Amino acid sequence: MSIREISPAQARECAAAGALLIDVREAHERAGGMAEGAQGIAGDELLADPQAWLPAPDAEIVLICQGGKRSLDAAQALADAGYTNLASVAGGTVAWRGDGLPLAQPGLDAGERDFYDRYSRHLLLPQVGEAGQRRLRQSRVLVLGAGGLGAPAAFYLAAAGVGHLRIVDHDVVERSNLHRQIIHAEAAVGMAKVESARERLLALNPHVEVEAIRQRVTSDNVDALMDGVDVVLDGSDNFPLRYLLNDACIKHARPLVYAAIERFDGQVSVFDAGRRRGEAPCYRCLFPEPPPPQFAPNCAEAGVLGVLPGLAGVMQATEVLKLLLEIGEPLAGRLLRFDALGMRFRETRVRPDPGCPLCAPGRPFPGYIDYAAFCAHGG
């Protein structure tokens, strides 16, 4: 049976004359507005049990979707099931809107309408969808550092709808930060970085919770900072804190999303030994001992291209979202290095060290150490 395609104006006339007009888009698509007079029934639900939704097989039924293809396919499936008086709206809701025909908003409260509208592009992804987006909303991420790496990472995590961000940094905003720490503005100079970050993130997405903690992370408070979080994002710029975070993530069985930058080079990885003993490495498997200080200068000593932490921070945010959604292949067991000058990327396999003092299978957690002394003496 060949399906009849009609214009939005004709569809409206049919509905006024008694035809059943059905919007077969998903709920998050209909949240942005649907043809006036249409009934919203997702295509999969409609086709799974047509008799539960439709009158007699010879009743006039008009289907509409976003652009016209899904409604045409659904009409064909209904025709194959024995329905005989079918039509599909050519151009779908896009054409309906373009023709200036009236739209109706489904019965959603303001919060749900914001959810469907704000995350509409995520909701279209099968790997995310509504269930995944609601999962992000329930997730909690610890962001260590509101500087070069934490700034872009936190921006994108807030924009993506991660429900709770715990941001920890003891520093204040300086003018020299602004060329790379994009979460801060000129007016924030002299302000605590965590408070500046909180203001900007809530201005971007008022529906996330941002916990601003102005503290220096130490062995004494790291356990409390880890409490209740799902993933830890390392935006630190020094070796003692990196080793401390690694050890805490093993103790608490949380994945650690790592990055480091210098001049024009960066590297990103995921260390998940806390949850996957013997399968995934930890930071100590890659760096059993810290390099001598003269071989690991920080940005204040060596300089850094302003966009470089943006590249690394966005990669970190990507890895965090993959971990929270349990999609794709995280960088666990892989170190991704990049050279911004040559725009070249190189991946190196990192294997778990069976003799690692922290993450070897069956090895009890040895406790925290004096990380400053450990790094000062090169291990």
pLDDT tens track for 71-125: 999 999 999 999 999 999 999 999 999 999 999 878 778 888 889 889 989 988 9
Nearest to 324 by CA among 378, 254, 259, 371: 254
pTM (2 d.p.): 0.85
**Which residue would you say has higher pLDDT here, 167 or 378?**
167
Phi, psi of 361 (to 5 degrees): -55, 135
pLDDT of 296 above 60? no
Domain residue spans of the chain:
4-118, 124-376
> Distance between CA 146 and CA 236 in Å, rounded?
9
Query: Which residues have C-beta within 8 Å of that of residue 126, sequence separation ≥ 6?
Result: none
Topology annotation, domain 124-376: Rossmann fold (3.40.50)
Q: pLDDT confidence of 300, banded at 50, 70, 90?
A: low
**4-118 is a CATH 3.40.250.10 domain:** yes
Nearest to 92 by CA among 38, 16, 18: 38
| Contact (Cβ atoms closer than 8 angstroms) between residue 86 and residue 74 | no
Report residue 216 CA to chain centroid gap. Answer: 27
pLDDT tens track for 129-162: 999 999 999 999 999 999 999 999 999 999 999 9
Return the DSSP state at 41. Answer: -
Q: Which amino acid is at 42?
A: A
Q: pLDDT confidence of 376, banded at 50, 70, 90?
A: confident
DSSP bridge pairs for 20: 61
One fold for both 4-118 and 124-376? no
Both tokens of 1, joined, read: 């049976």
**Would you state the pLDDT for residue 301?**
64
**Would you state the pLDDT for residue 299?**
60
> Distance between CA 180 and CA 304 in Å, rounded?
9
The CB density around residue 278, as the number of other CB atoms within 10 Å, is 13
Rg, the chain, Cα only: 27
| Contact (Cβ atoms closer than 8 angstroms) between residue 283 and residue 257 | no
Nearest to 221 by CA among 246, 244, 193: 244
The CB density around residue 304, as the number of other CB atoms within 10 Å, is 21
> Distance between CA 301 and CA 8 in Å, rounded?
64
